[in-house]
Amino acid sequence: MADTLRVDANTTVSTPPLDAGSITDFMAGLECQDLAISPYTSAKVKRLVLITAEDLRTPTIALPTIAVAAGSLAAWASVLYYGAYKRKVSSLWTFPVMTAACFASFTPAHDAAHSSIAKGAYKTPIHQFVGILSGVPLFLPFHGFRHEHLLHHKHTGTDKDPDMVVLQGSTMTRFFVWLLPEFFMLQDPKALAKRPKAVESVMFHLIVLCLMKMMCNRGVSKMALMKYWALPSRAAWWLLTCLFAYVPHRQQGEHHYTVLDNVYKTTSVTGGILSSNGLNLAVPLLNQHLHNIHHLYPQLPFSHYGAIWAKHKDALIEAGTEIRPLLARPSRTDTGRRT
């Protein structure tokens, strides 16, 4: 017989029985990782036991993630070679290409941070390799990013969430915060040196600076590096922060939900641009429009989000997951079953 889950004062959801077999199947697909949040937290609204080990089964190597990493790095290197070095292409033409390359490079680094690219004996070096290389176009130190990002998952929506700063302030304030999110997330700059992975992060930046110095020694001007790399990278950061940190975590209503009271309302699905059942954003956002699936099952590579959402969409909506448009704050009636 199904169990009943009370979502709020007016809503209950029927769920599969929480028997030992269901829990074992669910836990079978979870990988242990630093700061990983347990699927059975002390939240006021408990997590539904929806998926099985079959849903969570991933390949030995997540080839789509590897393909995105290779493609984004190839585009990044091509722009630097033909634009900044050979000067055969105007920066006006390469700006959108480089911005897209930097934007795309985040997803492999992000999957590597969650150890979702590979399994087996070589998974650690593979994740390190992909994560570090994919971070270069964005000037993103992989080890420091991984630590901060897993803190975000553990403390989503609380005062300990390092991403909370991108949700706060006026529209103008947020515009500048999204340009330089890594600086505004340092709530206590004096404690930076004491943070885990600080040494690795400093070493990463020194290596990137050495790379840029080598390029300058070979005839690439500092202005060319600015136009062909630094500015597009910063534009990509603005988009990433807006689309992946702000949009899926913005909340409406008087109550601010956190991971401690309702995991289904701390993030959402971006269903379209102007309406919640509009343009499918899976390709341009590399499935990150399904941010709710990522927070519920962070061990999955990005290419698996769509199948999980398609299979369990109705149950997740009943549990409180909202579908929101990208460019407009939804009303209470704009979060239902219209997709």
Q: What is the pLDDT of residues 111-150, one digit of tens each?
A: 999 999 999 989 999 999 999 999 999 999 999 899 889 9
Of 321, 332, 330, whose CA–CA distance to 276 is shortest?
330
> Last residue of some domain: 210, 245, 280?
245
Q: Which residues pair with 3 in a beta bridge?
A: 15
pLDDT at position 334:
37
Helices (H), 8-138: 20-28, 53-56, 63-79, 91-113, 123-135
Residues 75 and 223 in one domain: yes
pTM, two decimal places? 0.81
Q: What is the pLDDT of residue 102?
A: 98
Mean pLDDT to the nearest integer, 243-251 = 92
- pLDDT for 59 equals 87
CA 292 to chain centre: 10
Domain boundary among 204, 229, 245: 245
On whether both 256 and 224 belong to a single domain, the answer is: no
Distance CA 141, CA 134 (A): 10
User: Is residue 42 located within the same domain as residue 88?
Assistant: no
What is the average pLDDT value for the chain, to the nearest integer?
A: 82
State pLDDT tens for residues 9-38: 444 444 344 333 333 333 333 333 333 334
Encode pLDDT of 264-308 as tens digits. 999 999 999 988 888 899 999 999 999 999 999 999 999 999 999
Report residue 118: phi and psi, to 5°.
-140, 155
Let me know whether 38 and 154 are in one domain.
no
113 shares its domain with 169 = yes
339 found inside a domain:
no
Do 95 and 35 share a structural domain? no
Q: Is residue 162 part of a domain?
A: yes
Residue 1 has pLDDT above 80, yes or no: no
pLDDT in tens, 164-184: 989 888 888 888 889 888 776
Same-domain pairing of 189 and 263: no
Which residue range forms the structural domain that includes residue 256? 3-59+250-334
Task: Identify the residue with better confidence: 40 or 196.
Answer: 196
Under a CB-based contact definition with an 8 Å cutoff, are residues 72 and 102 in contact? yes
Last residue of one domain, picked from the residues 210, 229, 245: 245
pLDDT of residue 157: 92
| Number of domains comprising the chain | 2
190 with 254, same domain? no
DSSP string, 196-225: TTHHHHHHHHHHHHHHHHHHHHTT--HHHH
Determine the Cα–Cα distance for residues 78 and 232; give it in Å rounded to an integer.
14
Same domain, 72 and 200: yes
Residues 82-102 pLDDT 10s: 999 999 999 999 999 999 999
Residue 169 lies in a domain: yes
R_g of the chain, CA atoms, integer Å: 21
pLDDT at 45: 64
Both structure tokens of 31: 């990988």
